[in-house]
Amino acid sequence: MEAYLPLLFFIIAFLYATVGFGGGSSYLALLSIFLVDFYEIRSTALILNLCVVSIGTLFYIRHRVFNWKEFWPFLVASVPVAYLGAMIKLSDHVFFLVLGVLLILSGLALLHKYLKTVLVSREFKLPLQLGIGGAIGFFAGLTGIGGGIYLSPVLNMMGWKDARKVASLASVFILVNSLSGLAGLIRSDSLVLHTSFTLKLAVAVALGGGIGAYMANRKFNTKIIGLLTAVLVIYIGLRLILLHLWGIEI
């Protein structure tokens, strides 16, 4: 099974990148099967996240979807609290339970996003933007992923901008908060990496993420992929809770 990991990570990166995510939640779940060291799992997932969203962000900037004037309140508020969240040392048991709950909620919100037929678009006041960015930034740092998978469903449910704008913000949000989280891991002496193993997976997710980001920026219809991603996110969250709460594997 381990020999097929790069291919599996390639597919996951592709799926997540088409909807503006990095795939950190799935990386965490899969790595927990093959790695023993909890901090290596968290560190590796964060690095892979960065590989995917760095490419996605470049695509969004090139295609002029990225807009700093609209995005900065979310980003500025999230970075410092993501750093603080990453410094909190949870036990692996509590960590995966928290991640599982957040993923199920995010997956349900994603389903709502891709199943609804009436689209709305509205502006947010600055305090609301700062509040959303800060709150999600904290959970991003705490769970070791960029947080786009939490941010995107919230913004879509609340009707902020169109889907491509949200995906673009999610990609940049993941990038800056993954960097902030990485700094927090380094500062708390929690960064653990196996170089050769991480490098193989990094190449796989960079390729998958690059193709996915290209398709997303070509206005490819991502509804089916979005629904599949939502189901995958819910499954991963449910699996983490059942496994770490009752020892049940599904």
Give the per-residue pLDDT at 220.
61
Backbone angles phi, psi at 77, to 5 degrees: -70, -30
Token pair, residue 181, equals: 């989280």
Q: Which of 141, 114, 151, 84 is nearest to 232 (CA)?
A: 114
Token pair, residue 26, equals: 């799935």
| pLDDT at 47 > cutoff 80 | yes
Q: Tell me which amino acid residue 170 is.
A: A
Token pair, residue 185, equals: 């891991």
Token pair, residue 209, equals: 């993420």
CB 52 within 8 A of CB 16: yes
What global pTM score does this model have? 0.84
Give the per-residue pLDDT at 221.
64
DSSP string, 146-191: -SHHHHHHHHHHHTBS-HHHHHHHHHHHHHHHHHHHHHHHHHTT--
In order of 52, 148, 239, the CA distances from 178 in angstroms are 11, 10, 24
Helix (H, G, I), strand (E, B) or coil at 160: strand
Token pair, residue 33, equals: 């099967």
> What pLDDT digit, counting tens, does each position of 163-174 carry?
778 888 888 999
Give the per-residue pLDDT at 35.
85
Q: Tell me what the mean pLDDT of segment 173-177 comes to.
A: 90
Mean pLDDT, all residues of the chain:
86
Give the per-residue pLDDT at 121.
67
> What pLDDT digit, counting tens, does each position of 117-147 carry?
555 667 889 999 999 999 999 998 888 778 8
The number of beta carbons lying within 10 Å of the beta carbon of residue 207 is: 18
| pLDDT at 219 > cutoff 70 | no
Q: Which of 145, 131, 133 is nearest to 86 (CA)?
A: 145
- Distance CA(30)–CA(156), nearest Å, equals 28
Residue 161 belongs to domain spanning: 2-246
Q: Tell me what the mean pLDDT of segment 10-35 comes to.
A: 86
Q: Which of 21, 26, 27 is nearest to 40 (CA)?
A: 27
> What pLDDT digit, counting tens, does each position of 69-100 carry?
889 999 999 989 988 888 888 888 888 898 89
Q: Could you tell me the pLDDT band of residue 1, with boundaries at 50, 70 and 90?
A: low
Percentages helix, strand, coil for the chain (3-state, rounded to 5) are 80, 0, 20
Q: Could you tell me the pLDDT band of residue 201, with boundaries at 50, 70 and 90?
A: very high
**What domain count does the chain have?**
1
Helix (H, G, I), strand (E, B) or coil at 121: coil
